[in-house]
Structure 1
Amino acid sequence: MARARTSDGIELYFEEFGSGEAIVFVHEFGGNYWSWEPQIGYFSRRYRCVTFAARGFAPSDIPENVSRYSQARAVDDIFDVMDAAKIEKAHLIGLSMGGFAVLHAALRSPDRVLSAVAAGTGYGAEKEWADYFRNVSEGVAEKFEKLGAKEFAPVYASGPSRVQFQNKDPRGWALFAQRLGLHSDHGAANTMRGVQMRRPSLYDLEGEFKKLDVPVLVMTGDEDDHCLQTGIFLKKAISRAGLAVFPKAGHTLNLEEPDLFNRIVSEYLAQVEAGKWERRDPRANGAQIMKTE
């Protein structure tokens, strides 16, 4: 249990378990450092696992001003935690908000990223849904401010890509919703306004993704509609990307389907470490169907 001081003076709470090559887990808006419990228990047997609370999420600091929250700052925070833990390079695994941060980290500092996993990543990226996403994000921020996290949590946790988790694992979902109710009202609102509403569309980064040479695994549930199409886009844009689609699954992949999540990521990391997660073979040309000569 430790705290990292960021380059702009914020303190971030982090935990680490196990030894070996480092994995840094980056949580989603609806979660916190505790979101990765099924993964920490599994991967800390072979890896050094680090999980931290993003700024705005207790017990990390909760800056008052929304200007202290941004997509760029979320990336800085990953590397500041790594620096505090004396980790030069790591596998980065992120869900949703964390998935965005992981992808941006790989673009900015590929020399520090052994591999990246972006699960449930795509909300707000689709151009045709951009205005709606910004408006509903502002609505969510207002609900946290006016109702408070405890009252609003069951509503937020019952979203169209969360009910899959609720139906499969009622107890696990109830714990998720209960912990969501512990969010800082102000921190949640600032995160929505400073990070979620302002981050660039992943589609605007296509040129950068095409140049990226870091191994990437994209994971999405087939009922997580606003991440599914973005997942396909990322698979096509990033030459070293693989795409795993979970059947009958929603947004909270690592908690909803922990065994499947862990098995797929474990195999992915093994291939990366063996040097087998390579760029797509140029012969696998998506513009062709069959060869005639």
Structure 2
Amino acid sequence: MPYAPSEGARIWYEEAGHGLPLLFIHEFGADHREWEDQVRFFSREYRCLTYAARGYTPSDVPDDPKLYGQDFAVKDAVAVLRHLGIPKAHIVGLSMGGFAAILFGIRHPEMAISLVPAGAGSGSPREEQAAFRAGCQARGDKLIAQGWAGELAEETGHSPTRIQLKKKDPRGWAAYMQRLSEHSGLGSGLTMKHYQGERDSIFDWEAELRRMTVPTLLAVGDEDGPCVATNVWLKSVLPNCGLWLCPRTGHAINLEEPAAFNREVAAFLSTVERGRWTLG
């Protein structure tokens, strides 16, 4: 299996296609396989790269809590690119991966051709952050103790921002639930506690975001309640950014509406590459 060495973990990756590099970063409740519809579409013209985050097999699942967190999320993305000798790539991320994509753009703008953070921002509003963090700690402990058996998976799959997938695409939802059941309880729990539950609020990055000029397309479903307001705010502070709001869509926007997601992202990437996504 191909692995990229990162700090404290080996990161498993796969690639398909040729062309400009396009790196996909997955969400908490999924893994590298969630990008299959995108890889099949974009690998016709791009070198598509996906990887399993630390804590998600076949990447390593460290048992040291100190080896999880937002800093490692960015380091792992950089590690994959550097291992493959790629100096610069388009970066697409969903949810937890969208958060990492934004932080990647802040810390490594020279490595980002563009950013597509999708469904990013849950738990960021300051009035929600304390409750969000407490919930992450409790859920993380449960995952470590119980794994994804029964209750936790069902609760996730039927949550207010996930049920849309089941209604639109029952087969796709069933496949998502099967993948979820295969995740490491330890890896998911430590990720929940020390990445999700200890990460910054996106609002804390306002000064850095106002200076970041990487071309950015924000993508969010209009039924993704925890993320809509944060994305509207991001649109107001990022100087080189557009916002795509997908109607009647929840959190897993790339799974719910793959054709629309692929179309919007493809148009954005083309505009950036033609030098037409300009400031002002």
Is 1:179 matched up with 2:179?
yes
Offset, 1:251: 0.1
Range moving further from structure 2, 142-151 or 16-25 = 142-151
Higher mean alpha-carbon deviation, 138-147 vs 99-108, is at: 138-147
Contact 2:144 2:190 in 1 (8 A): no
Query: Offset of 1:229 from its aligned partner?
Result: 0.4
| Mean Cα deviation higher: 143-152 or 185-194 | 143-152
Matched, 1:222 2:222: yes
1:27-65 Cα shifts (integer Å, max 9, x gaps): 000111101000000000000000000000000000101
Q: Are the counterparts in 1 of residues 32 and 50 from structure 2 also a CA contact under 8 Å?
A: yes
Question: Kindly, what percent of the aligned residue pairs are identical?
Answer: 42
**Which amino acid is the alignment partner of residue 33 of structure 2?**
W
Give the Cα–Cα distance (whole angstroms) in 1 for the partners of residues 8 and 72 of structure 2. Answer: 12
Deviation at 1:92, TM superposition (A): 0.2
Give the deviation of 1:242 after TM superposition: 0.3
Find the counterpart in structure 2 of residue 25 from structure 1: 24
Q: Please state how far the C-alpha of 1:139 moved relative to its aligned partner.
A: 2.5
Task: Report the CA distance between 1:148 and its aligned residue.
Answer: 1.7
**Post-superposition offset of 1:155:** 1.7
* Pairs within 5 Å for 1:232-251: 232-251=232-251
Task: Indicate if the aligned counterparts of 1:150 and 1:180 stay in contact, CA closer than 8 A.
Answer: no
Alignment of 1:1-150 (within 5 A): 2-6=2-6, 8-150=7-149
Supply the distance in 1 between the matched residues of 2:8 and 2:131 (Cα, whole angstroms): 34
Tell me the distance in 2 between the aligned counterparts of 1:140 and 1:248.
28
Q: Distance in 2 between matches of 1:68 and 1:12?
A: 13
TM-score computed with the length of structure 1 as normaliser: 0.93
Unaligned runs of 5+ in 2: none
Task: Encode CA deviations 1:99-119: one digit per residue, 9 max, x unaligned.
Answer: 011111110111110000000
Whole-Å separation in 1 of the counterparts to 2:145 and 2:86: 40
Distance in 2, matches of 1:262 and 1:26, equals 15
Counterparts of 2:149 and 2:91 in 1: how far apart (Å)? 30
What secondary structure, in the 3-state scheme, does the structure 2 residue paired with 1:159 have? coil
1:284 matched residue in structure 2: none
- Once the two structures are TM-superposed, the CA of residue 146 in structure 1 deviates from its matched residue by 2.9
Matched pairs, number: 279
Per the TM alignment, residue 142 of structure 1 is displaced from its structure 2 partner at its CA by 2.4
CA separation in 2, counterparts of 1:198 and 1:147? 21
* C-alpha distance in 2 between matches for 1:48 and 1:164: 31
Q: What is the CA deviation profile of residues 139-161 of structure 1, one whole-angstrom value per residue up to 9, with x for unaligned ones?
A: 32122123321322122121110
Between the aligned partners of 1:271 and 1:90, the Cα distance in structure 2 is 15
Q: State how far apart, in whole Å, the 1-side matches of 2:138 and 2:158 are.
A: 15
Matched residue, 1:208: 208
Q: Please say which of residues 75-84 and 137-146 is displaced more in the overlay.
A: 137-146
What are the ranges of 5 or more consecutive residues in structure 1 without an aligned counterpart? 282-293
Q: Shift in Å at residue 181 of structure 1? A: 0.7
**In 1: Cα distance, 2:59 partner to 2:42 partner:** 24
Whether the 8 Å contact between 1:206 and 1:237 is mirrored in structure 2 is: yes
Q: Who is 2:263 aligned against?
A: 263
Could you list the per-position Cα deviations for residues 202-232 of structure 1 after superposition, in whole angstroms to 9, with x for gaps in the alignment? 1111111000010001000101011000110
CA contact (8 A) 1:12 1:54 kept: yes
Deviations, residues 124-179 of structure 1 (Å, cap 9, x unaligned): 11111111111221232122123321322122121110011111111101110111
Q: Contact 1:3–1:13 at 8 Å: present in 2 too?
A: yes
Which AA in structure 2 matches 1:185?
G
Tell me if structure 2 keeps the 8 A contact 1:217–1:243.
yes
Aligned partner letter, 2:25 = V
1-structure distance, mates of 2:57, 2:140? 17
> Is the contact between residue 56 and residue 187 of structure 1 (CA under 8 Å) also seen in structure 2?
yes
Name the SS of the counterpart of 1:183 in structure 2: coil
- Any idea what SS the aligned residue of 2:48 has? strand
The runs of at least 4 consecutive aligned structure 1 residues that moved more than 6 Å come to none
Q: Distance in 1 between matches of 2:125 and 2:213?
A: 24
